[in-house]
Chain A
């Protein structure tokens, strides 16, 4: 029972309270880069979910299976980034063979994911927080859901902004950042929900 309520807390915290984009500042580049259209934002979101969950699981196994027994934890950064980079390639190859449609919709986002700091960040946080294997995977999956929520909300706002009359100085990036600030302010309302 305790286990289950712990996992529920992790879920709520990952989506709302410690949202990857608004509270942890991870994955800002794709958040600003591919959020111009709702459908590309969704595609990026799914690709991130896929890679983030698998990368965290593999990272967990390798960390406790290899790095800890041999006391070489300082190799963590190097190993995790190698896992992510090769995973992205692998996913790309498998998708190409298995499902053409999925490959066509997610394909262009995959190379970008290697340098998406949310993936490495979430994998590292799961280790730092001493989560169990199941909790880590749940945490990774729902952090990705939080990312999707953030990027979808923002894409919606941006599509509206296209038609808005924005002062010239604030066009494009500045107004985007200020909208993000207001969104992030709204998400702060969730803080205190989970300690």
Chain B
């Protein structure tokens, strides 16, 4: 049980796919203009990761190792198509906002990375925990950055205004440069946090 807890929590901090491993940064930077988009993208990616980890951990013995990468990509692409169609059907606004980055979940290196490094070598149970942990870690990082950008760039959070109508906001945070700067600041902030905690690991 301890092992399971360890696998689950490391996706959040120690091996957070975004802030530590720098994987899958394209959607992280592109869709984080508002907190809702960030959460939507994070959960869509988590779903794909969970699906692909489950299938790959079950099927890994049947896949010859020479064709494993193309097979993994095919499994991932299938789940991405499912998510794509689901989002188109149930939330046209989210589909509009995330746009091309939904099909691009296929090439999120985090998912292929987990398939190759974890799911193909571990059983179903651990693979599920790994997918949920990593997926939520990814979602958490997306949420952090998108909340920061929405508050600073538009003065709202989840579309609820925080400042008065006529208050000026730091518009640049809603624009592309704000994505790079915001992520840079968040990683530096996490470094500071780690330093303050006295390097407990």
A residues in contact with B70, CB < 8 Å: 82, 85-86
Q: How far apart sit A74 and B77, CA to CA, in the bound complex (Å)?
A: 11
27 examples of A-B residue contacts, CB within 8 angstroms = A24-B30, A25-B27, A27-B26, A28-B26, A29-B25, A74-B81, A77-B77, A77-B103, A78-B78, A82-B77, A85-B69, A85-B70, A85-B73, A86-B70, A114-B107, A115-B109, A117-B104, A121-B100, A124-B100, A174-B188, A174-B191, A177-B187, A180-B184, A181-B179, A181-B181, A184-B176, A188-B176
CB distance from A110 to the nearest CB of B (A): 13
Q: How far is the CB of B94 from chain A (nearest CB, A)?
A: 17
In the complex, what residues of A have CB within 8 A of residue B100's CB?
121, 124-125, 128
Residue of B nearest to A76 (CB): B103
The answer to whether B23 has its CB under 8 Å from any CB of chain A is yes
In the complex, what residues of A have CB within 8 A of residue B188's CB?
A: 169-170, 174
CA gap between A177 and B22 in the complex, in Å: 11
- Are the CB atoms of A177 and B177 closer together than 8 Å? no
Q: Which residues of B contact A78 (CB under 8 A)?
A: 74, 77-78, 81
Given A169-B195, A177-B180, decide whether A26 and B26 contact each other with a Cβ distance below 8 A: yes
- Interface residue tally of chain B, by bracket? 35 or more
Interface SS majority for chain B: helix
Tier of interface size on chain A:
35 or more
| Chain A residues with a Cβ under 8 A of chain B | 22-29, 32-33, 74-78, 81-82, 85-86, 114-117, 119-121, 124-125, 128, 169-170, 173-178, 180-182, 184-185, 188
Residue of A nearest to B176 (CB): A184
Chain B window 23-46, contacts with chain A (Cβ cutoff 8 Å), 1 for yes, 0 for no: 111110110000000000000000
Determine which of A75, A117, A128, A170 lies in contact with B107 in the assembled complex, contact meaning CB atoms within 8 Å.
A117
**Is the Cβ of A81 less than 8 Å from the Cβ of B109?**
no
Q: Which residue of A is nearest B103, CB measured?
A: A77
A80 to chain B, nearest CB (A): 8
Q: Select from chain B the residue with minimum beta-carbon distance to A79.
A: B77
